[in-house]
Amino acid sequence: MANVVMGYKQSTFPAKLAVISGIGLLIFIIFPFVMGEFQVSLMSKLLLFGALAISLDLVWGFTGILSFAHGIFFTLGGYASAYYLKLNLSAEGNTYGGELPDFMVWNGLETMPWFIAPLKYFPVAFIAMIAVPALFAYVVGYFIFRSKVSGVYITIITLALSSALTTFFISQQAYTGGTNGITDVSKLSFFGTAIPPIGLYFLILAYTAFVLALGWWLTQSNFGLILRSINENENRIAFLGYDVAQFKIFIWALSAGLAGVAGGLFVPLNRFISPVYLAVAFGTQVVIWVAIGGRGTLIGPLLAALILGQVQNYAEKVTQDWQLMIGVLLLIVVLFVPNGLMSLLPKQFNLSNLSKPKPIMPANTVQDSP
């Protein structure tokens, strides 16, 4: 028996969304051929931040869990990637001409730690980029959601985790590089050939498109329907027999894995990772992207990350108080456009409407169908 929950059914792929997505993808494909190297590098970083924002939107926008922990997941994936690239730096490229990374030598280590050594191999590092943040999220989520913690208390826990892990990573200089993090890593290569900036751009573009497509597919499925229902009325869904905690844990861990890969791709692009991305400030920035773009829209957080990143780039050249400008914009959105900038689009062009399943019966009806 298949349940139709809250009076909705799974919708088919809208032709309008396909056309708009195709045009958008074409623009991004042409972008590196008409813009300079700096703009290509900046856009690569902003696309990663957009993928990170989408991963948070799955948790906050669709499931109603406000989290400041996505900077943690991003950073854990980044460190897995950074260890791989640092350990594969040639002996000549290392400061001390040996296999041991410079920050380990500075802090008195003489041998490679056993838990870091396997990350020299790409398959292990790639799995770690996904598994470490996802497993961490699963463990934390298990205790949070099985204990039925909800609302602002989850937010407080994620803020505390962010602060605690920032302090921990800074204190473990011999293993994390401390405040400086891991710097001067090797370039990402493919069968011994270094991937050029434009190659990284297309790799990142492909990943961001994958995250967006996966998010759309999930939220259009019956699984996404349950997430929406949990957000709207968690008690009713639990009464219908669904294990609400299990759904929350799964989407929490999945979004953490997606954020971890974004962090992993960030390292070869910027050639470093540091605890600054663990801090509350960065986690807050991700929340701002989702809030300004529009929760539950997927495309809104992506566009907000791209636009605000460009605003920051130009504002930094004019004033040191660029964060004030972002704060004012957030205040305006919260007060006057609580549903985000995507809600300002005319109804027929509002992409958020295209991502919502179509009602087939009254919203308070639950029906069984063979």
Range 169-183 average pLDDT: 93
* C-beta separation of 304 from 290 below 8 A: yes
* C-beta separation of 264 from 78 below 8 A: yes
45-56 pLDDT, tens digit per residue, is 999 999 999 999
Q: Is the pLDDT of residue 207 over 60?
A: yes
Residue with tokens 């602060």: 163
What single string gives the DSSP state of each residue in 213-254?
HHHHHHHHSHHHHHHHHHHH-HHHHHHTT--HHHHHHHHHHH
CA distance 329 to 308: 10
Which two structure tokens, joined as six digits, stand for 211?
């995250």
121-149 pLDDT, tens digit per residue, is 999 999 999 999 999 999 999 999 999 88
Among 114-123, 236-245, 297-306, 324-333, the minimum mean pLDDT is found in: 324-333
184-195 pLDDT, tens digit per residue, is 898 998 877 889
Q: HSE-up of 239 (CA within 13 Å, CB side)? A: 8
If you ran DSSP here, which 8-state letter would residue 180 be given?
G
Q: Is the pLDDT of residue 308 over 70?
A: yes
Domain boundaries, the chain: 2-369
| E-strand stretches of the chain | 2-4, 8-9, 182-183, 189-190, 193-194, 272-273, 358-359, 367-369
Residue 92: the pLDDT is 54
Radius of gyration of the chain (CA): 21
More confident residue, 18 or 14: 18
Q: Is the pLDDT of residue 367 over 50?
A: no
Burial class of 242 by CB neighbour count within 10 A (0 to 12, 13 to 18, 19+): middle
Name the residue among 2, 10, 6, 1 with its Cα closest to residue 222.
10
Percent of the chain predicted with pLDDT > 70:
86
Residue 103: the pLDDT is 87
- Helix, coil or strand: residue 258: helix
CA distance 296 to 54: 9
Residues 6+ positions from 344 with CB-CB distance below 8 Å? 337
Name the residue among 356, 352, 64, 67 with its Cα closest to residue 231.
64
Strand partners, 9: 358
Domain 2-369 matching CATH 1.10.3470: the answer reads yes
Q: Is the pLDDT of residue 352 over 60?
A: no
Residue 342: the pLDDT is 86
Q: Is the pLDDT of residue 277 over 70?
A: yes
Among 16-20, 133-137, 204-208, 321-325, the minimum mean pLDDT is found in: 321-325
Q: Is the pLDDT of residue 274 over 70?
A: yes
Q: Is the pLDDT of residue 319 over 80?
A: no
Range 17-30 average pLDDT: 88
Identity of the highest mean pLDDT range in 21-30, 87-96, 158-167: 158-167
Mean pLDDT score of the chain: 86
Which two structure tokens, joined as six digits, stand for 27?
């623009």
Q: Is the pLDDT of residue 10 over 60?
A: no
Residue 192: the pLDDT is 77
Q: Is the pLDDT of residue 91 over 70?
A: no
Residue 338: the pLDDT is 82
Residue 359: the pLDDT is 40
Range 336-354 average pLDDT: 68
Residue 219: the pLDDT is 92
261-273 pLDDT, tens digit per residue, is 999 999 999 999 9
Identity of the highest mean pLDDT range in 2-16, 283-297, 314-328: 283-297
More confident residue, 8 or 78: 78
Residue 214: the pLDDT is 95
CA distance 176 to 84: 13
Could you give the angle at which helices 299-318 and 37-60 cross, rounded to 10 degrees?
130
